[in-house]
């Protein structure tokens, strides 16, 4: 506790502010909202190539997006891509086109004849954009020092469509490349690894090309370009880099420091090596979230930076650990749609707690879990009850609330406690191996747990994940000196009667001068009495001591 307790408290507060923003949006949602499901994939996307020239003076981009794909199972007569406020210049294709049009939210390309199933096709859309979302310029024209001019992007959840046309749903995963043309002296950062850098003799612009050769989801595509300074390290053969605007360079080292130990811890805890070619983190101005886990290149908010003078009251450890955990949970395996986003955020939250436990001891993790629980209690009382897997949201951002983060983390902690560490770890390793570079839903995790533990967790997932709410236990205890029995009465007091009863294991702890007596019980009914023989009257009765 002590100093570090305060540190983690700050990280928590940042998260809660984000949650409250999401809740405010939820509260204004329209009354008629339909269930949301992943769209029909229709096409197998093999590669997305983006070529972008940034105009830092006009805060605009000129781009060409080339998609390589093949129709799945049946002929395809038109292709719809998400695109908002893009100005179309030209559409070209390896097949003959009947035409194309742009609506306020899509680009619709119609083929002269339906494309046969499995027929690999290449389509290029040239466009310009002055994005108000998705891509953000920080330039002298917008009040920033010229020496720190930069741009950054944010895809999650559905912002990428504001700066390039794309299949903007997490159930499509594909390799990608980004080429960006910038004035000499600027850095260009993107996903994967840098494969080339050339200077155009006519324009004098430098073209930097990055390739992510492993499949990832569209919302994880990132572009950052501008003036940055860099720190470098490595873990095994994996390059680790940390970029900041030049004036922040003196504060970079303290925030970079947790990266290597966190990566080493995760490889050991998860049992699967870091899944990508390298790992970079970049600090940008006015980032809208705490951090964003783009594959191989996380974006971090600049307020995480601090000096040695404040290292005792602040830390980047929680944020760095959270974003790095996402490289496995969210990036290697990705929620199939936003109803399942707890599979991204719950894991990233919980694994940052596990890292904290390894760094500072189990008490520190329990303190994090305690803080998380307080967050759940506070947040869940002021809004309509929603299950973690919930489809009737208006905008995906509503899903990024206390359910995805702290309740998701708690759900994994309960699983780990009930399965035991060794079985839990085997389940998670298998979950990542079986679904590597693919998408997941909660049932994928449930099925592997049942297969490897020999126990059914259908009820567990039903009550904690597919239904809203939580048990509220009223506990009374008494001592009968004649029979030497402690009586503990437990009543489930949550609203909803029999429909919302929980089954859960619970530890009762009795403390007296002679020591501690523990008794494991299973709560299954609305009201139950448990009798425990003890040598003498207990001084303290604890329910769920951890």
The distance of closest approach from Cβ of residue 101 to Zn ion in the complex, given in angstroms and rounded to an integer, is: 37
Of residues 321 and 348, the one with the C-beta less far from Zn ion: 348
Choose one: 5-13, 196-204, 295-303, 342-350; the region binding Zn ion (CB under 5 A).
Answer: 342-350
Of residues 292 and 387, the one with the C-beta less far from Zn ion: 292
How would you write 100-140 as a 3-class SS string? Answer: EEECCCEEEEEEEEEECCCCCEEEEEEEEECCCCCEEEECH
Choose one: 258-266, 338-346, 352-360, 514-522; the region binding Zn ion (CB under 5 A).
Answer: 338-346
Which of 267-286 are b and which e, b meaning 16 or more Cβ less than 10 Å from the residue's Cβ? bebbebebbbbbbbbbbbbe
Choose one: 136-144, 255-263, 343-351, 352-360; the region binding Zn ion (CB under 5 A).
Answer: 343-351
Choose one: 189-197, 340-348, 413-421, 476-484; the region binding Zn ion (CB under 5 A).
Answer: 340-348
Choose one: 10-18, 179-187, 346-354, 387-395; the region binding Zn ion (CB under 5 A).
Answer: 346-354
**Contact between 413 and 426 (Cβ < 8 Å):** no
The tokens for 543 are: 């329910």
Of residues 226 and 346, the one with the C-beta less far from Zn ion: 346
**Contact between 334 and 344 (Cβ < 8 Å):** yes
Of residues 127 and 350, the one with the C-beta less far from Zn ion: 350
Choose one: 221-229, 345-353, 491-499, 522-530; the region binding Zn ion (CB under 5 A).
Answer: 345-353
**The 515-523 sheet, strands edge to edge:** 515-523, 504-512, 540-543
The distance of closest approach from Cβ of residue 282 to Zn ion in the complex, given in angstroms and rounded to an integer, is: 16
The distance of closest approach from Cβ of residue 401 to Zn ion in the complex, given in angstroms and rounded to an integer, is: 12
- Identify any residues that bridge with 110 across adjacent strands, giving them in sequence order: 78, 99
**Contact between 190 and 160 (Cβ < 8 Å):** no
Give, to the nearest 10 degrees, the angle between helix 442-453 and helix 342-360. Answer: 60
**Contact between 356 and 368 (Cβ < 8 Å):** yes
The distance of closest approach from Cβ of residue 466 to Zn ion in the complex, given in angstroms and rounded to an integer, is: 22
Where on the phi/psi map is residue 484: left (φ > 0), alpha (ψ -120 to 50), or beta? left
CB atoms within 10 A of CB 347: 26
The distance of closest approach from Cβ of residue 262 to Zn ion in the complex, given in angstroms and rounded to an integer, is: 14
Question: Pick from 164, 218, 168, 165: which is nearest to 191 by CA?
Answer: 218
Does 321 interact with Zn ion (rule: CB under 5 A)?
no
The distance of closest approach from Cβ of residue 348 to Zn ion in the complex, given in angstroms and rounded to an integer, is: 4
Does 320 interact with Zn ion (rule: CB under 5 A)?
no
Of residues 337 and 345, the one with the C-beta less far from Zn ion: 345
Does 348 interact with Zn ion (rule: CB under 5 A)?
yes
Q: Is 103 exposed, middle or buried (0-12, 13-18, 19+ CB in 10 A)?
A: exposed
Choose one: 201-209, 348-356, 422-430, 496-504; the region binding Zn ion (CB under 5 A).
Answer: 348-356
- Contacts to Zn ion from residues 104-123, by CB under 5 A: none
Of residues 63 and 318, the one with the C-beta less far from Zn ion: 318
- 522 vs 471: CA distance, rounded Å: 13
The distance of closest approach from Cβ of residue 369 to Zn ion in the complex, given in angstroms and rounded to an integer, is: 17
- 48 vs 52: CA distance, rounded Å: 13
Choose one: 37-45, 54-62, 347-355, 481-489; the region binding Zn ion (CB under 5 A).
Answer: 347-355
The distance of closest approach from Cβ of residue 103 to Zn ion in the complex, given in angstroms and rounded to an integer, is: 32
- Identify any residues that bridge with 100 across adjacent strands, giving them in sequence order: 109
- Contacts to Zn ion from residues 65-94, by CB under 5 A: none
Of residues 129 and 335, the one with the C-beta less far from Zn ion: 335
Of residues 345 and 444, the one with the C-beta less far from Zn ion: 345
| Displacement of CA 412 from its chain's centroid (Å) | 15
Q: Give the sign of the dihedral formed by CA 398, CA 400, CA 404, CA 406.
A: negative
Of residues 348 and 465, the one with the C-beta less far from Zn ion: 348
Of residues 348 and 419, the one with the C-beta less far from Zn ion: 348
Residues in contact with Zn ion, shown as a per-residue x/- string from 178 to 217 under the rule CB under 5 A: ----------------------------------------
- 149 vs 79: CA distance, rounded Å: 37
The distance of closest approach from Cβ of residue 191 to Zn ion in the complex, given in angstroms and rounded to an integer, is: 17
Of residues 372 and 492, the one with the C-beta less far from Zn ion: 372
The distance of closest approach from Cβ of residue 290 to Zn ion in the complex, given in angstroms and rounded to an integer, is: 8
The distance of closest approach from Cβ of residue 263 to Zn ion in the complex, given in angstroms and rounded to an integer, is: 17
The tokens for 278 are: 């390298």
Of residues 289 and 530, the one with the C-beta less far from Zn ion: 289
The distance of closest approach from Cβ of residue 320 to Zn ion in the complex, given in angstroms and rounded to an integer, is: 12
Residue nearest to Zn ion (CB): 348
The distance of closest approach from Cβ of residue 347 to Zn ion in the complex, given in angstroms and rounded to an integer, is: 9
- 60 vs 445: CA distance, rounded Å: 43
Helix (H, G, I), strand (E, B) or coil at 342: helix
- 320 vs 303: CA distance, rounded Å: 13
Of residues 45 and 432, the one with the C-beta less far from Zn ion: 432
Q: Which residue has the tokens 């990055």?
A: 210
Write the CB contacts of 443 (distance below 8 Å, at least 6 apart in sequence).
461
Count of residues binding Zn ion (CB under 5 A)?
2
Choose one: 56-64, 91-99, 224-232, 344-352; the region binding Zn ion (CB under 5 A).
Answer: 344-352
Find the largest Cα–Cα distance for the chain.
Answer: 98
Indicate the pairing of strand 540-543 with strand 504-512: antiparallel
What is the binding site for Zn ion (CB under 5 A)?
Answer: 345, 348
């Amino acid at each position: 506790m002590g100093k570090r307790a305060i540190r983690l408290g700050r990280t928590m507060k940042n998260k809660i502010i984000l949650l409250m923003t999401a809740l405010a949006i939820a509260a204004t949602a329209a009354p008629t909202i339909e269930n949301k499901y992943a769209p029909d994939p229709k096409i197998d996307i093999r590669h997305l190539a983006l070529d972008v020239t940034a105009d830092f003076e006009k805060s605009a981009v000129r781009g060409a997006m080339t998609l390589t794909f093949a129709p799945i199972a049946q002929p395809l007569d038109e292709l719809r891509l998400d695109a908002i406020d893009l100005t179309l210049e030209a559409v070209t294709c390896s097949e003959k086109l009947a035409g194309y049009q742009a609506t306020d939210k899509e680009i619709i390309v119609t083929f002269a004849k339906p494309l046969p199933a499995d027929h690999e096709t290449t389509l290029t859309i040239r466009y310009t954009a002055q994005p108000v979302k998705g891509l953000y310029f920080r330039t002298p024209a917008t009040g920033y020092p010229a020496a720190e001019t930069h741009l950054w992007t944010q895809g999650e959840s559905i912002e990428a469509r504001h700066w390039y046309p794309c299949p903007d749903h997490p159930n499509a995963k594909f390799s990608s490349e980004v080429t960006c043309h910038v004035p000499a002296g600027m850095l260009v950062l993107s996903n994967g690894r840098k494969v080339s850098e050339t200077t155009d003799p006519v324009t004098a612009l430098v073209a930097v090309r990055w390739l992510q050769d492993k499949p990832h989801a569209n919302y994880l595509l990132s572009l950052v370009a501008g003036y940055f300074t860099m720190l470098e390290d490595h873990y095994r053969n994996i390059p680790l880099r940390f970029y900041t605007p030049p004036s922040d360079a003196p504060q970079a080292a303290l925030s970079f420091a947790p990266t290597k130990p966190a990566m080493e811890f995760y490889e050991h805890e998860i049992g699967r090596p870091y899944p990508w070619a390298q790992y970079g983190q970049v600090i940008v101005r006015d980032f809208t979230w705490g951090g964003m886990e783009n594959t191989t290149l996380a974006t971090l908010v600049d307020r995480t930076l601090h000096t040695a003078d404040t290292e005792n009251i602040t830390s980047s450890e929680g944020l760095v650990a959270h974003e790095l955990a996402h490289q496995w949970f969210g990036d290697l395996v990705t929620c199939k749609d936003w109803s399942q986003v707890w599979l991204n955020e719950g894991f990233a939250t919980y694994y940052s707690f596990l890292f904290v436990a390894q760094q500072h001891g189990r008490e520190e993790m329990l303190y994090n879990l305690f803080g998380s629980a307080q967050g759940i209690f506070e947040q869940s009382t002021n809004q309509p009850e929603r299950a973690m897997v919930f489809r009737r949201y208006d905008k995906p951002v509503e899903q990024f609330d206390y359910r995805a983060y702290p309740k998701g983390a708690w759900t994994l902690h309960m699983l780990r406690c009930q399965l035991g560490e060794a079985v839990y770890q085997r389940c998670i390793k298998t979950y990542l191996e079986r679904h590597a570079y693919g998408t997941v839903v909660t049932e994928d995790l449930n099925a592997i747990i049942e297969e490897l533990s020999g126990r059914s967790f259908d009820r567990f997932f039903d009550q904690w994940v597919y239904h809203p709410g939580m048990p509220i236990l009223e506990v009374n205890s008494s001592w009968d000196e004649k029979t030497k029995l402690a009586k503990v009465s437990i009543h489930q007091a949550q609203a909803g009667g029999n429909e919302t009863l929980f089954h859960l294991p619970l530890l009762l702890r009795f403390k007296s001068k002679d020591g501690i007596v523990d008794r494991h019980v299973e709560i299954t009914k609305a009201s139950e009495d448990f009798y425990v023989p003890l040598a003498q009257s207990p001084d303290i009765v604890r329910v769920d001591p951890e």
